Amino acid sequence: MNFKRKLLSAALLALTAGAANAQISGNVVKIGVLNDQSGTYADLAGPGSTLAAKMAVEDFKAQNKGFTTPIEVIAADHQNKPDVGSQIARKWFDSDGVDVIVDLPTSSVALAVNQIAKEKGKAAIISTGASSDLTGKACTPNTVHWTYDTWQLANGTGSAIVKTGGDSWFFLTADYAFGHALERDTEAVVLKSGGKVLGKVRHPFPSADFSSFLLQAQASKAKIIGLANAGADTTNAIKQAAEFGIVKGGQNLAGLLVFLTDVHALGLEKAQGLIFTESFYWDLNDQTRAWSKRYGAQHGGKMPSMGQAGVYAGVLHYLKAVAAAKTDDGTKVVAKMKELPTDDPLFGKGSIRADGRKIHNSYLFEVKKPSESKGPWDYYKLRATVPADQAFRPMAEGGCPLVAAK
Amino acid sequence: MTEIFGKPLPVIMGQMLIGLINGSFYALLSLGLAVIFGLLNIINFTHGAQYMMGAFAAYFLLNKLGVNYWWALLLAPLAVGATGVIIERLMLSKLYKLDHLYGLLLTFGLALIFQGAFRHQFGSAGLPYSIPESLSGGQNLGFMFLPNYRAWVIVASLTVCLGTWFVIERTKLGAYLRAATENPSMVQAFGVNVPRMITLTYGFGVALAALAGVMAAPIYQVNPLMGADTIIVVFAVVVIGGMGSIMGAVVTGFGLGIIEGLTKVFYPEASNTVIFVIMAIVLMIRPQGLFGSR
């Protein structure tokens, strides 16, 4: 079925290829989804992101009948390893004619591919990757950081928790670029809001057993245990914290990066009451609901994570920029993406700053009690909306060389 | 407060206890591997996948059939052990005359197939499995809060390990088994059905892995990759203990759990390499392993 559809579209593409624009390399816009297709982050990114990219292509084609150049989506598994990710990115750019790489969870991989895209004059649209360095000291003219970043999460969740009395913290941090960035950004917010940090422990990534780290957190007597990790690491830590009676003992957990798929894996019984920041939730408004239903219908009923939503919106905007710039040259298209205002059903109207940061609203969510949930995937209630102009780090503070040069 | 190397004593005792809990899983898993290697000479790389299948079996029993944890402890190992029997009959039995490497390759391939199939079907974020009602809660030991479930894991694992050791080293059945590995044709000549015994032994080793999986389900997410992560450590444990030595597997399993726990206090970043460092040292000084004889 899938193969037949591919065959059909390939035949259609061959028919229309004659009219293709001379500025498009290889007469095809090739989008590479590079993420964790099988491991810790496969549910929050993975094949769901590939589907989101394909949906963006479909929708773009339906809205722009005049754009006849074929568009292709391919995907690969970087296994959360920077060396594997770099190898694939180089091969894609050098010999497979890929024009843009999207998604890129696992900050260490995102940072590596970020540099390669710059080196090769291609484009990178990062959705699930988190480190705020991507639009800070590591920013490039070839990267757009779409969905969220560690500064946004730290600021949204960290300040909300300190304000409600959680003023002493202990960090449980995944020991690689992402965890370090998230811990650093959150610590800064906690200190700035008048709280203090009593200690931290860095755990190997990925970890299955958190008991000894949780025990150290418990011994610190900190009011808040900040989980600077993601995916299965976060769900395991939360599950085991419950077992060790940490929440019953008066300490609270702060999930600094929690995805919808994590809440689904934990179940409401264990996840209830968690507070965290996200940029997207399927049940925000009519448009997000309509899109998510379409997505779910093709993905076994699962609702999209914010990372997957970001892949859709990022690819859609990228294609608009390709059509407007009449080229798929990475540097030029990214410049065009920053020039055009963004508008999509999932994140609404927004813009992309000179440092590559996509700007939109940020939301503080709380996980519902099992009794409050009306059905499958009805998990969040909205606590606060951080307006777009306050959600992200001010450009001047990031230290992005692109901006300083101006 | 008493301190050792600048760390408070209660923290160290807490970590040692946690090490003992992790050691329980290492011991149970390496025990199964040691039994299989000792009697079949097969390096069973499918062990991690079979551990994972045990956890999934428990999940299905609870969520599809409403069978509780205690029955799952019995039924899941039986079910997964039965698949082990089928694998042994259909595939492994054809390889005994060949080099070890073939058994290793076959079981490794099977592990990849099982893990891939489960991942395809259930994703990789994992499925939730709750701690049974009667074992929830915990005891405050003064220096740490010990969840009842974890205490149960230590007791159950020790019982199973010692029971297995007793059966193989001290009973008549165990004597047959050991004799069959030394000289199968001689034992066959005495009227013992050696192939059937070997089949059942493999099934038993696999059932041990599945049992560990059921016990792990409430602690970790039931996850298609849970075995892939653990099995590498367990192989290191078996190598350190001495391939095929049952006592070695059990003692090293618990011992390394404790060492790993202590590493988490003093230098957490090294906690997932320390076992391999020890393995390298042991292999240099005593290549047959601490308890190995060949």
Within a domain: residue A207?
yes
A66, A349, A153, A253 alpha-carbon torsion, rounded to 10°: -100
- Quote the pLDDT of residue A89: 97
- Quote the pLDDT of residue A107: 93
DSSP chain B: --EETTEEHHHHHHHHHHHHHHHHHHHHHHHHHHHHHHHH----TTHHHHHHHHHHHHHHHHHHH---HHHHHHHHHHHHHHHHHHHHHHTGGGSTTS-HHHHHHHHHHHHHHHHHHHHHHH-SS-B--PPPGGG-SEEE-SS-EEEHHHHHHHHHHHHHHHHHHHHHHHSHHHHHHHHHHH-HHHHHHTT--HHHHHHHHHHHHHHHHHHHHHHHTTTS-B-TTHHHHHHHHHHHHHHHH-TT-HHHHHHHHHHHHHHHHHHHHH-GGGTTTHHHHHHHHHHHH-TT-SS---
Q: Which residues of B touch A213 (CB under 8 A)?
A: 264, 268
Query: Phi, psi at residue A35, to the nearest 5°?
Result: -160, -170
High-pLDDT (> 70) share of chain B, %? 98
CATH of the domain at A244: 3.40.50.2300
Within a domain: residue A230?
yes
Whether A79 and A34 have beta carbons less than 8 Å apart is answered as no
Query: Phi, psi at residue A28, to the nearest 5°?
Result: -150, 140
Within a domain: residue A395?
no
The vertex-A240 CA angle with A238 and A245, nearest 5°, equals 95
Contact B124 A40 (CB under 8 A): yes
Please determine, for residue B1, whether its predicted confidence score (pLDDT) is greater than 60.
no
Give the residue from A278, A309, A344 where a domain finishes.
A278
B18, B213, B33, B195 alpha-carbon torsion, rounded to 10°: 150
Q: Is A136 helix (H, G, I), strand (E, B) or coil?
A: coil
- Quote the pLDDT of residue A385: 93
Distance (Å, rounded) from C-alpha A370 to C-alpha B128? 15
- Quote the pLDDT of residue B270: 84
Whether B132 and B62 have beta carbons less than 8 Å apart is answered as no
Does residue A239 sit in the same domain as residue A315?
no
One-letter amino acid at B27 equals A
A224-228 and A168-174 as β-strands: parallel, antiparallel, unpaired? Answer: parallel
Q: Which residues of A touch B229 (CB under 8 A)?
A: 206, 208
- Quote the pLDDT of residue A19: 43
pLDDT tens figures, B199-230: 999 999 999 999 999 999 988 778 888 888 78
Q: Which residues of B touch A240 (CB under 8 A)?
A: 219
- Quote the pLDDT of residue B125: 67
Any idea which residue has 């084609």 for tokens? A61
Please determine, for residue A69, whether its predicted confidence score (pLDDT) is greater than 90.
yes
Does residue A266 sit in the same domain as residue A244?
yes
**Surface of A (211-240) touching B: CB under 8 A:** 211-213, 215-216, 218-219, 231-232, 235-236, 239-240
pLDDT confidence of A8, banded at 50, 70, 90?
low
**Surface of B (111-150) touching A: CB under 8 A:** 119, 123-128, 130-131, 137-138, 144-145, 147, 149-150
Buried b / exposed e across B56-92, counting CB within 10 Å, b at 16+?
bbbbebbeeeebebeebbebbbebbbebbbebbeeeb
Chain A residue whose CA is closest to B117: A38
pTM of the model: 0.79
- Quote the pLDDT of residue A5: 67
Average pLDDT, chain A: 91
The vertex-B6 CA angle with B2 and B12, nearest 5°, equals 65
Does residue A267 sit in the same domain as residue A294?
no
Contact B14 A212 (CB under 8 A): yes
Contact A243 B147 (CB under 8 A): yes
* Average pLDDT value for residue range A284-311: 96
Contact A202 B145 (CB under 8 A): no
Lookup: tokens for A239: 């599950």
Please determine, for residue A17, whether its predicted confidence score (pLDDT) is greater than 50.
no
Q: Which domain holds residue A113?
A: 2-148+285-360
Q: Which of A175, A202, A232 sits opposite B125 (nearest CB)?
A: A232
Q: Between B224 and A140, where is the model more confident?
A: A140
Q: Which of B8, B219, B265 sits opposite A240 (nearest CB)?
A: B219
Q: Which residues of B touch A35 (CB under 8 A)?
A: none
pLDDT tens figures, A91-127: 999 999 999 999 999 999 999 999 999 999 999 999 9
Distance (Å, rounded) from C-alpha A47 to C-alpha A37? 6
Please determine, for residue A318, whether its predicted confidence score (pLDDT) is greater than 70.
yes
Lowest mean pLDDT among A127-136, A258-267, A311-320: A258-267
- Quote the pLDDT of residue A260: 95
- Closest CA–CA distance from residue B148 to any residue of chain A (Å): 9
Please determine, for residue B67, whether its predicted confidence score (pLDDT) is greater than 60.
yes
The residue ranges of every structural domain in chain B are 3-285
pLDDT tens figures, A339-382: 999 999 999 999 999 999 999 999 999 999 999 999 899 999 99
Contact B14 A208 (CB under 8 A): no
Residue A238 is inside which H or E element, if any?
helix A232-243
Contact B125 A261 (CB under 8 A): yes
Contact A46 B150 (CB under 8 A): no
pLDDT confidence of B240, banded at 50, 70, 90?
very high
Contact A264 B125 (CB under 8 A): yes
Please determine, for residue B28, whether its predicted confidence score (pLDDT) is greater than 90.
yes
Q: Is A348 helix (H, G, I), strand (E, B) or coil?
A: strand
Please determine, for residue A9, whether its predicted confidence score (pLDDT) is greater than 80.
no
Per residue, the 3-state secondary structure of B134-170, as one string, reads HHCCEEECCCCEEEHHHHHHHHHHHHHHHHHHHHHHH
Contact A39 B123 (CB under 8 A): no
Lowest mean pLDDT among A6-10, A32-36, B140-144, B234-238: A6-10
Measure CA B230 to chain center. 9
pLDDT confidence of A405, banded at 50, 70, 90?
low
A200 touches B: beta carbon within 8 Å: no
- Closest CA–CA distance from residue B151 to any residue of chain A (Å): 12
Average pLDDT, chain B: 88
Q: Which residues of A touch B261 (CB under 8 A)?
A: 212
Within a domain: residue A253?
yes
pLDDT tens figures, B247-267: 889 999 999 999 998 888 888
Please determine, for residue A406, whether its predicted confidence score (pLDDT) is greater than 60.
no
pLDDT confidence of A18, banded at 50, 70, 90?
very low
Give the residue from A360, A379, A399 where a domain finishes.
A360
For domain B3-285, give the fold: ABC transporter involved in vitamin B12 uptake, BtuC (1.10.3470)
Contact B119 A235 (CB under 8 A): no
High-pLDDT (> 90) share of chain B, %? 49
Within a domain: residue A219?
yes
Does residue A128 sit in the same domain as residue A183?
no
Does residue A73 sit in the same domain as residue A132?
yes
Distance (Å, rounded) from C-alpha A229 to C-alpha B260? 21
Q: Which residues of A touch B114 (CB under 8 A)?
A: none
pLDDT confidence of A3, banded at 50, 70, 90?
low
- Quote the pLDDT of residue A7: 61
Number of domains in chain A: 2
pLDDT confidence of A226, banded at 50, 70, 90?
very high
Contact A209 B22 (CB under 8 A): yes
Does residue A296 sit in the same domain as residue A270?
no
Q: Which residues of A touch B126 (CB under 8 A)?
A: 232, 235, 265
**Surface of B (258-277) touching A: CB under 8 A:** 261, 264-265, 268-269, 271-272
Chain A residue whose CA is closest to B9: A219
Give the residue from A235, A258, A278 where a domain finishes.
A278
- Quote the pLDDT of residue B10: 76
Contact A235 B268 (CB under 8 A): no
- Closest CA–CA distance from residue B6 to any residue of chain A (Å): 14
pLDDT confidence of B128, banded at 50, 70, 90?
confident
- Quote the pLDDT of residue A20: 43
- Quote the pLDDT of residue B133: 85
Q: Which of B8, B124, B145 sits opposite A244 (nearest CB)?
A: B145
Distance (Å, rounded) from C-alpha A174 to C-alpha A186? 14
* Average pLDDT value for residue range B168-184: 86
- Quote the pLDDT of residue B180: 82
Whether A402 and A377 have beta carbons less than 8 Å apart is answered as no
Within a domain: residue A402?
no
Contact A42 B125 (CB under 8 A): yes
* Cβ neighbours of A287 (radius 10 Å): 13
Does residue A175 sit in the same domain as residue A307?
no
CB neighbours of A174 closer than 8 A, spacing ≥ 6?
A202, A203, A205, A206, A228, A229, A230, A233
